[in-house]
């Protein structure tokens, strides 16, 4: 069954007709040819498909496109402003925070969404004091908060410093 929906992606509005079974990830990649979100597992297990939905990071492979009609979506491809890379993107390049690069767009969008959660004072599983006012984003916090993004190349040793520094910019 088909449905007509509108998606706002990286600042542009798109009207499209999708089968109700289409995930947001497939709508972006196959219908709109926005390919920075990657398909790793298609089951919520790897984070390669991470995008921001109305400002919050989410796995686009488990979100149905019809259910997110009208949503504001930001992909890694839309993080740059006026041709200037986002600080998190620059930090990943400077720290060589990747090998094959397949997980990278998901890592970067996830890191950007994660920083908003830190700013909002959201605790994590490793936050010592649940009632703390301000989160100190140390490496343990980064690892825990980014555990939803797997890297098959295991570039973690550089991803963690890339995010640490990207968060300070």
Partner 1 sequence: MKPYSYQRAEDVDGAVAALVEQPNAKFLAGGTNLVDLMKLGVEEPDALVDVRRLTSDHVEDLDDGGLRIGAAVPNSVLAADRKIRTRYPALSQALLAGASGQLRNLATTGGNLLQRTRCVYWQDVTTPCNKREPGSGCSAIEGHNKNHAILGASEHCVATHPSDMAVAMYALDAFVVVHGPDGERRFPIEELHRLPGDEPQRDTTLEHGELITAVDLPPLDLAANSKYRKVRERASYAFALVSVAAALDVEDGVVRDVRIALGGVAHKPWRATKAEEALRGEPANEANFHAAADIELEDAQPLRDNAFKIPLARNIIARTLLDLSEER
Please give the residue ranges that form the binding site for partner 1 (CB under 8 A).
1, 3, 19-21, 23, 42-44, 47, 50, 53, 56-59, 62-64, 66-67, 110, 113-114, 117, 120-125, 127, 130-131, 143-149
Nearer to partner 1 (CB atom), residue 77 or residue 148: 148
101 binds ligand FES (CB under 6 A): yes
Q: Which of residues 4-63 bind ligand FAD (CB under 6 A)?
A: 44-45
The CB-of-84 to partner 1 minimum distance in angstroms stands at: 26
SS3 for the chain is CEEEEEEEECCEEEEEEEECCCEHHHHHHHHCCCCCCCCCCCCCCCCCCEEEECCEEEECCCCECHHHCCCEEECHHHCCECCECCHHHHHHHHCCCCCCCCCHHHHHHHHHHHHHHHHCCCCCCCCCCCCCCCCCCCHHHHHHHCCCCCCCCCCHHHHHHHHHHHHHC
Nearer to ligand FES (CB atom), residue 47 or residue 78: 47
121 binds ligand FAD (CB under 6 A): no
State which of residues 11, 44, 55, 121 lies at the interface with ligand FES (CB under 6 A).
Answer: 44
93 binds ligand FES (CB under 6 A): no
């Amino acid at each position: 069954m088909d449905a007509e929906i509108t998606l706002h992606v990286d600042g542009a509005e798109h009207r499209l007709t999708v089968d109700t079974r289409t995930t947001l990830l497939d709508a972006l990649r196959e219908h709109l040819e926005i390919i920075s979100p990657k398909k790793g597992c298609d089951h919520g297990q790897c984070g390669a498909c991470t995008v921001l939905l109305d400002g919050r990071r989410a796995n686009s492979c488990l979100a149905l496109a019809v259910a997110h009609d009208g949503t504001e979506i930001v992909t890694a491809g839309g993080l740059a402003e006026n041709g200037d890379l986002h600080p998190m993107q620059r930090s990943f390049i400077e720290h060589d925070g990747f090998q094959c690069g397949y997980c990278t767009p998901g890592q970067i969008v996830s890191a950007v969404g994660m920083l908003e959660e830190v700013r909002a004072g959201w605790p994590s599983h490793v936050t010592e004091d649940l009632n703390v006012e301000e989160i100190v984003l140390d490496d343990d916090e980064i690892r825990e908060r980014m555990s939803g993004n797997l890297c098959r190349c295991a570039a973690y040793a550089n991803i963690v410093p890339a995010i640490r520094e990207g968060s300070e910019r």
